[in-house]
Amino acid sequence: MTANEPLGPYRVIAAADPAGPVPAAGQFFMLSAGERWGGGEGGRPFLPRAFSMLRREGDELRFMLEDVGPGTNRLATLEPGDGLLVVGPLGAGFTPGDTRRALLVGGGVGVPPLCCLQDELLAHRVETTALVGFRSATHAAAATLLRDPRVATDDGSIGHHGLVTELLERELDGAGGSERTVFACGPPAMLEAVRRLCVERALPAQLALESGMACGFGACFGCVVSLRAGGYVRLCVDGPVLDAHVLAEVPAH
Amino acid sequence: MTANEPLGPYRVIAAADPAGPVPAAGQFFMLSAGERWGGGEGGRPFLPRAFSMLRREGDELRFMLEDVGPGTNRLATLEPGDGLLVVGPLGAGFTPGDTRRALLVGGGVGVPPLCCLQDELLAHRVETTALVGFRSATHAAAATLLRDPRVATDDGSIGHHGLVTELLERELDGAGGSERTVFACGPPAMLEAVRRLCVERALPAQLALESGMACGFGACFGCVVSLRAGGYVRLCVDGPVLDAHVLAEVPAH
Amino acid sequence: MPDFCGLELAHPIVNGSGTFDAIAARRAFGDELDAAFPFSAFVSKTITLAPREGNPPPRLWEAAGGLLNSIGLPNKGLEGYLAEDLPELARLPVPLITNVMGSTVEEVAALVEALGEREEVAAIELNVSCPNVRTGLDLGADAAELGRVLRAVRPLTATPLIVKLTPNTADVASVAAAAEEAGADAVSLINTLRGMAMQPGRAGRPWLGARTGGLSGPAVRHVALAQVAAVASRVAVPVVGMGGVTSGRDALELLHAGATLVAVGTESFRDPAAGRRISGELSELAANRPFVSEV
Amino acid sequence: MPDFCGLELAHPIVNGSGTFDAIAARRAFGDELDAAFPFSAFVSKTITLAPREGNPPPRLWEAAGGLLNSIGLPNKGLEGYLAEDLPELARLPVPLITNVMGSTVEEVAALVEALGEREEVAAIELNVSCPNVRTGLDLGADAAELGRVLRAVRPLTATPLIVKLTPNTADVASVAAAAEEAGADAVSLINTLRGMAMQPGRAGRPWLGARTGGLSGPAVRHVALAQVAAVASRVAVPVVGMGGVTSGRDALELLHAGATLVAVGTESFRDPAAGRRISGELSELAANRPFVSEV
Ligand SMILES: Cc1cc2nc3c(=O)[nH]c(=O)nc-3n(C[C@H](O)[C@H](O)[C@H](O)COP(=O)(O)OP(=O)(O)OC[C@H]3O[C@@H](n4cnc5c(N)ncnc54)[C@H](O)[C@@H]3O)c2cc1C
Ligand SMILES: Cc1cc2nc3c(=O)[nH]c(=O)nc-3n(C[C@H](O)[C@H](O)[C@H](O)COP(=O)(O)OP(=O)(O)OC[C@H]3O[C@@H](n4cnc5c(N)ncnc54)[C@H](O)[C@@H]3O)c2cc1C
Ligand SMILES: Cc1cc2nc3c(=O)[nH]c(=O)nc-3n(C[C@H](O)[C@H](O)[C@H](O)COP(=O)(O)O)c2cc1C
Ligand SMILES: Cc1cc2nc3c(=O)[nH]c(=O)nc-3n(C[C@H](O)[C@H](O)[C@H](O)COP(=O)(O)O)c2cc1C
Ligand code: FES
Ligand code: FES
């Protein structure tokens, strides 16, 4: 752990990773504290926790996290110099591919993989529009990680008063709306709404999902999601980014 | 937790206990961290840990501890303001009783109950001699907690080069040696040596023992030691201070 | 106010047998303890017919999220209990459940008969985690053996009889069903899981004086939930659920799994007032968060 | 260099079935993985005759000191395994042990026969933690049933047969003895302990898609030590010990309890290189600290 700074109600933490391979946007890492992992609520955390890469700067990997339970709490309270176990990069990230204009849609801790992706797209001179939703203006501090974001908040304290998917719908209804590729990451309900919108409109869409993970590298078969065609895929090796059109639905947890 | 200071290789920690009853010398408390108890080596600590009271100053209880495992490690790294669960005072302490001259014999983390006892005896104008053994001069820093201690060290770096029981033997062989009451606390091998010496010489002796404890208040029957007459007693309620003459031996753990 | 075998209890939290000594606790914490007794009924440590010293030390080993113990049921024996402990325990502000164990039908019968006569004893809990002389297995691991013993002792008393099942068996629900059929008024579970620890640095030497012991604490909580749910869905008699409970939320989960009462064991070691805390947390949960009930 | 059923292994640390997917790990970590493969033999996930999707999610619940899983043995079935996975696994730098499960004698026989013919398969591990169609109990909970199945399939192959016992039984040593008598070349244990978790905030609703699951990790380590010691003192065939191993010291304790090999399961999830680390710690312990050996 080389840094741990607040960003609104979130923390941005950094880890030295001089030897690691360069991760792609949408890939993730499994993190755990080097010491005293455990002993929190219910005796947890025990397993490592998954976090999308926010950015790689020099030899440093950055992550943004929200303290929602024993694992994120422990990571959020580590200090620079404390040991951090980092496994990754893992999984299949976004595949920017074509030249259609990219619509990035995110919310809350779904922002990090979009930051990465926006960096990549901008480097390839692909135009992006970023729409991001938060609970409130304080949470919206995380929007500053993106270039030119349009913000929605649940309480209307900043930006659009409502859901980010309303911004998305408006954007898709507007000029060139049918010429977009959607890249989304956020809470399950938001992703499910995005999935429906894009399936209805037959728009290409890539969703970065979450699921409980024990290992992150395909060992446990614990992180599966259902496919529309039947059967399951492991989110940690076949995802976390999946084509919206192959999914049965975005699972609630 | 109100303070945590080094004393040689030991820590002296303090806890606010404004409402608690006043403990007697030789009594102990069960301590555990309010947060993050667990997650150390082997997933431990889980149970609370026993510590003899060092001193009560105003509303503060003081303890001296050595970092020897996951429990003491966690306690040693707590910071003032961190939560500490304190259960006690527990057990039966020393019974100073008569007017025979008191010989206090201790070693290592066995020093704290002797400090308490010396305070009490001095307050009652009973003369005391304190003999204390340590691994080295750095450890002997803990001797400063006592008044007029005579020190032995394993490596001879300060005081007598050898065991504290050699000092004890010399003292008992000297003038008035048979007119003493011995009060001892320290590692098992030392206590066993003290026990033998006192039993051989038919001297009154009170030993503050240690044993693994799960509860400290008589609930688990886990802390038993064997009596010479057969059967067991619970160290946490019938001890930790026991008459040297009732013991079969001082158990190695 | 849970009704358990006809006892009206103030709340659903009792202690696990052998994890709280009300007499020793009174010595340690004084009479205030009785004023704010942590449990709605007190369950005694296991009593046997003859006195027992218990197992040689060491008797404790700390595990990840739990405790391994080989206490070995030290107790004063039936006579000592009746003469010395019962008067003290009768002074408690809550009903008394006396836990007993015997290794033959005759022993169990003698215990049940003697305790059944005492009105201070509100219920008898029969600990069947003891090796059976006939089969070598724990009495409670074998539905047929347990049924045989219960049918013999059940007629000897009108006092409610709780059977404390062993978790060290392939199919605890069948054993519970056999106990119910043989006349048990309630069942309780889980007892400790059989486990072993090694002496650090000494090859192959067990740490515990009795070689093996029993695991308790949060490490066994999910095993307890599975067994309690399996038993509660199989029997009609009330179930006392226990195993690794440290919070009101844990207790609520056992209640939702079908338990009528919840016992707190190892958690009292760190926090002697855990029973009271947990029953408080439980009523708060019930008051503040109407749980969605769907099974 | 442990000799295990005629296999010369570089060190005593293998993986627990279903806790390491060598093919997926190669995809995640590249070919360096094979160069420094963490285990001295690779044990496959359980293969069944027909393909299985596995249980509905959620499949994971984190416990105090452990993990509860209800993966449900997803696999490509025997044919898929032979066609797709076996060629990939044969490229590993270590011997391959294939783990199989069947719910009838015929299924087990078909699996054992087909795999016994493949020289890429160094040994077959038979997972008997599956409900038996005849008894309703797990096949491995019942010594007589297990003996019957083993006697039927043992003659079908010359490949070493390891029986992976279930811990959810009253007397695992008797089951192990029955396996040995019926021709098992080795036994392995423990598999996961049956457990259950509840959905936070939803009364009585189990969290896991399959309602119950299996507990692994440090929470079960002392249960594993007890069962491994009991089995090793009862059978003459080699024992693969596992359950909650996170360090060389833990592994050594299982070896001292009588195991010939030690498997690492859940610990690989946090540290994919755990097998290599633990075998390193083990040789260090052996080199630096001559343990006092006395039983
Ligand atoms: C690919 C991927 C990328 C991610 N990227 C990020 C990121 O960039 N930033 C970020 O903040 N988060 C990210 N997450 C989410 C993050 O991993 C979780 O917030 C974290 O694991 C929560 O751990 P916790 O211990 O703090 O809380 P937990 O209490 O473990 O998790 C909270 C949720 O887990 C469930 N839960 C509760 N108890 C248990 C239990 N005992 N066992 C299993 N589940 C339980 C509940 O559904 C609860 O809502 C990502 C997740 C994935 C899969
Ligand atoms: C009445 C009393 C008073 C005490 N007073 C003091 C005091 O004033 N100051 C002080 O520093 N200490 C005192 N102690 C000792 C102190 O309680 C122990 O040092 C402490 O419990 C060690 O805990 P740990 O987690 O740090 O180390 P642990 O690793 O728990 O303890 C070290 C010892 O415990 C054993 N052990 C190792 N692993 C386990 C396990 N898994 N389960 C059970 N045992 C294990 C071994 O014998 C090892 O040597 C006192 C003890 C008692 C009983
Ligand atoms: C130290 C200790 C002693 C115990 N003694 C008994 C006993 O005498 N009789 C009995 O039926 N159960 C006994 N138990 C089992 C507990 O009552 C309880 O079933 C078990 O500990 C699980 O609950 P827990 O995880 O809350 O501790 C004992 C448990 C412990 C830890
Ligand atoms: C996610 C998961 C999947 C498992 N899958 C299998 C399996 O397919 N076949 C099997 O025999 N055991 C399976 N096991 C059991 C392990 O091989 C091992 O017996 C058990 O986890 C105990 O070891 P551990 O505590 O080191 O994990 C699985 C365990 C886990 C945690
Ligand atoms: S998290 Fe283990 S397979 Fe995906
Ligand atoms: S420590 Fe529990 S009875 Fe003494």
In a domain, B253, yes or no: no
Per-residue confidence (pLDDT) for residue D135, from 0 to 100: 66
Residues B235, B140, single domain; the answer is yes
The answer to whether residue B227 is domain-embedded is yes
Helix (H) or strand (E) holding A194: helix A188-200
Q: Which residues contact D214 (CB under 8 A, 6 or more apart)?
A: D68, D69, D70, D129, D191, D192, D193, D194, D195
Residue D95 tokens read as: 């011997």
CA–CA gap between residue A79 and residue B110 (Å, rounded): 35
A48 and A123 together in one domain:
no
Nearest atom within ligand 2 for CA of residue B41: 29
**A224: chain D residues, CB-CB within 8 Å:** 54, 57, 59, 74
Averages of pLDDT over each 10 residues, chain C, 295 residues: 91 98 94 91 97 96 97 97 97 97 94 97 94 72 94 97 96 97 98 96 90 97 98 98 97 97 98 97 82 44
CATH number of the domain enclosing A23 = 2.40.30.10
The number of domains in chain A is 2
pLDDT by residue (tens digit) across D9-66?
Answer: 999 999 999 999 999 999 999 888 888 999 999 999 999 999 999 999 999 999 999 9
Are residues B193 and B77 located together in one domain of the fold? Answer: no
Kindly state whether A92 is in contact with chain D, defined as any CB-CB distance less than 8 angstroms.
Answer: no
Distance B248 CA to ligand 3 centre (A): 29
For residues D187 and D174, what is the distance between their CA atoms, to the nearest angstrom?
12
Bridge partners, D127 (sequence order): D164
Nearest to D215 among C212, C223, C229 (CB): C223
Give the neighbor-by-neighbor strand order of the sheet with A3-7: A3-7, A10-16, A60-65, A55-57
Catalytic option among C130, C146, C189, C229: C130
Per the domain annotation, does D212 fall within a domain? Answer: no
How many domains does chain D divide into? 1
For residue B108, the domain's CATH number is 3.40.50.80
Protein residue with its CA nearest to atom 43 in ligand 2: C61
Answer yes or no: do A219 and D271 touch at CB < 8 A: no
What DSSP string describes D25-77?
Answer: HHHHH-THHHHT-S-SSEEPPPB-SS-B--PPSP-EEEETTEEEE-----B-H
B89: CA distance to ligand 5 center in Å?
A: 49
Chain centre to alpha carbon of residue B173:
25
How far C20 CA lies from chain B's nearest CA (Å)? 4
Determine the pLDDT at residue C289: 59
Q: How far is the CA of B38 from the centre of ligand 2 (A)?
A: 15
Ligand 1 within 6 A of CB of D61 = yes
Evaluate whether residue C148 is within a structural domain. yes
Name the neighbours of B, counting chains with at least 3 Cβ pairs within 8 A. A, C, D
Per-residue pLDDT, averaged over B189-207, amounts to 95
Polymer length of chain B: 253
Angstrom distances, CA of residue B137 to CA of B64, B132, D96, D258: 17, 12, 58, 45
Closest chain A CA to residue C249: A42
Model pLDDT, residue C293: 47
Let me know whether A113 and A73 are in one domain. no
Closest CA to B50 of C66, C60, C265, C200: C60
Indicate which ligand has the atom closest to the C-alpha of C67: 3
B45 → chain D, closest CA residue: D65
- Residue C234 identity (one-letter amino acid): R
Residue A36 to residue B37, Cβ atoms within 8 A: no
CA distance A205 to A183: 6
Confidence (pLDDT) at C9? 97
In the numeric block, which tokens belong to residue D151? 């006697």
Nearest 5°: CA angle at D262, between D261 and D264? Answer: 145
Atom 6 of ligand 4: nearest residue by CA position? D18
A11 Rama class: left (phi>0) / alpha (psi -120 to 50) / beta: beta
- Alpha carbon distance C263, C278 (integer Å): 10
Which residue's CA lies nearest to atom 25 of ligand 2?
Answer: B71
Q: Which atom of ligand 5 is nearest to the CA of D21?
A: 3
- State yes or no: is C130 an active-site residue: yes
Scanning the structure block, which residue is given the tokens 């961290």? B33
pLDDT (mean) for B148-174: 94
Tell me which residue range forms the domain holding C78.
3-54+73-196+217-292
Answer yes or no: do A139 and A232 share one domain.
yes
Classify residue D60: in a domain, yes or no.
no
Rounded to the nearest integer, the mean pLDDT of chain D is: 94
Which domain, by its residues, includes B181? 101-246
Does any domain span residue D251? yes
Question: Same domain, yes or no, for B84 and B198?
Answer: no
On whether residue D25 sits in a domain, the answer given is yes
Chain C environment of A42 (Cβ under 8 Å): 218, 246
A241/A176 same-domain check: yes
Distance C124 CA to ligand 3 centre (A): 16
Residues 227-256 of C with CB under 8 A from A: 246
Say yes or no to pLDDT of D291 above 60: no
C142: nearest CA partner in chain D = D170
Q: Is D129 helix (H, G, I), strand (E, B) or coil?
A: coil
CA distance D43 to D20: 8
Q: Chain D residues with CB inside 8 Å of A213's CB? A: 60
pLDDT band at D228 (very low <50, low <70, confident <90, very high): very high
Three-state SS for A161? strand
Phi, psi of D163 (to 5 degrees): -100, 120
Q: What is the pLDDT of residue B175?
A: 85
Q: Which residue has a Cα nearest atom 16 of ligand 1?
A: A50
- The pair phi, psi for residue A76, each rounded to 5°, is -70, -20
- CA angle, D210 as apex, C171 and D197 as ends, to 5°? 75
Counting from 1 in the atom list of ligand 6, the atom nearest the Cα of C24 is 3
Predicted pLDDT of residue C135: 66
What is the model's pLDDT at position C271? 96
Q: Average pLDDT, whole number, for chain B?
A: 94
Tell me the C-alpha distance between C103 and D47, whole Å: 44
pLDDT for A119:
93
pLDDT of residue D294: 41
The alpha-carbon gap from D3 to the nearest alpha carbon of chain C, in Å, equals 20
Nearest atom in ligand 4 to the alpha carbon of residue D73 is: 8
Cβ neighbours of C289 in D, within 8 Å: 201
Residues A179 and A233 both lie in one domain: yes
Q: What is the pLDDT of residue B19?
A: 81
CATH number of the domain at C144, please.
3.20.20.70
Q: Which two tokens stand for residue B121?
A: 């005896």
Catalytic residues of D: 130
pLDDT of residue A99: 65
Among all bound ligands, the one having the nearest atom to the CA of C69 is 3
- Let me know: does A121 contact A100? Beta carbons within 8 Å: no
* ipTM of the shown complex: 0.96
Model confidence at B17: pLDDT above 90: no
Q: In what order do the strands lie in the sheet with C66-69?
A: C60-63, C66-69, C212-216, C193-196
Residue B128: pLDDT over 80: yes
In Å, how far is C247's CA from the nearest CA of chain A? Answer: 9
pLDDT of residue D221: 98
- B232 lies in some domain: yes
Residues of chain A with pLDDT under 50: none
Q: Output DSSP code: residue A160.
A: E
**Shared-domain flag, residues B15 and B44:** yes
Would you call B58 an interface residue with chain D, using a CB distance cutoff of 8 Å? no
- Is there a contact between A40 and B43 if contact means CB atoms under 8 Å apart? no
Total length of chain A: 253
Work out the minimum CA distance from B43 to partner chain D, whole angstroms.
7
Which residues lie with the beta carbon below 6 Å from any ligand 3 atom?
B 220, 222; C 16-19, 45-46, 67, 69, 71, 73, 99, 127, 164, 190-192, 216-217, 220, 242-245, 264-267
> What pLDDT score was predicted for residue C263?
98
Is C252 within the bounds of a domain?
yes
Q: Are residues A136 and A224 in the same domain?
A: yes
Min distance C224 CA to chain D CA atoms (Å): 7
Answer yes or no: is A9 within a domain. yes
Output C129-135 pairs: Cβ under 8 A, ≥24 positions apart. Answer: C129/C101, C129/C164, C129/C166, C129/C168, C129/C191, C129/C192, C129/C214, C130/C101, C130/C102, C130/C103, C131/C103, C132/C103, C133/C103, C133/C104
Confidence (pLDDT) at D132: 63
Q: What is the pLDDT of residues D150-187, one digit of tens each?
A: 999 999 999 999 999 999 999 999 999 999 999 999 99
**SS3 letters for chain C?**
CCEECCEECCCCEEECCCCCCHHHHHHHHCCHHHHCCCCCCEECCCECCCCECCCCCCCEEEECCEEEECCCCCECHHHHHHHHHHHHHHCCCCCEEEEECCCCHHHHHHHHHHHHCCCCEEEEEEECCCECCCCCCEHHHCHHHHHHHHHHHHHHCCCCEEEECCCCCCCHHHHHHHHHHCCCCEEEECCCEEEECECCCEECCECCCCCEEEEECHHHHHHHHHHHHHHHCCCCCCEEEECCCCCHHHHHHHHHCCCCEEEECCHHHHCCCHHHHHHHHHHHHHHHCCCEECC
What is the number of the ligand 4 atom nearest to the C-alpha of D217? 25
Pocket test of ligand 3: the residue of C99, C191, C222 to mutate, having most ligand atoms within 8 Å of its CB, is C191
Same domain, B149 and B79: no
Q: What is the pLDDT of residues B70-98, one digit of tens each?
A: 999 999 999 999 999 999 999 999 998 77
- Distance between CA atoms of C147 and C143, rounded to whole angstroms? 6
C-alpha atoms less than 13 angstroms from C-alpha of D212 in its C-beta half-sphere: 16
**Residues in chain C within 8 Å Cβ distance of B222:** 59-60, 69, 71
Same-domain pairing of A157 and A38: no
Of B90, B224, B232, nearest to C28 by CB-CB distance is B90
Q: Is residue B81 part of a domain?
A: yes
Which ligand has the shortest distance to the CA of B44? 2
Has this prediction a pTM greater than 0.95? yes
Residue D43 belongs to some domain of the structure:
yes
Q: Is residue A216 part of a domain?
A: yes
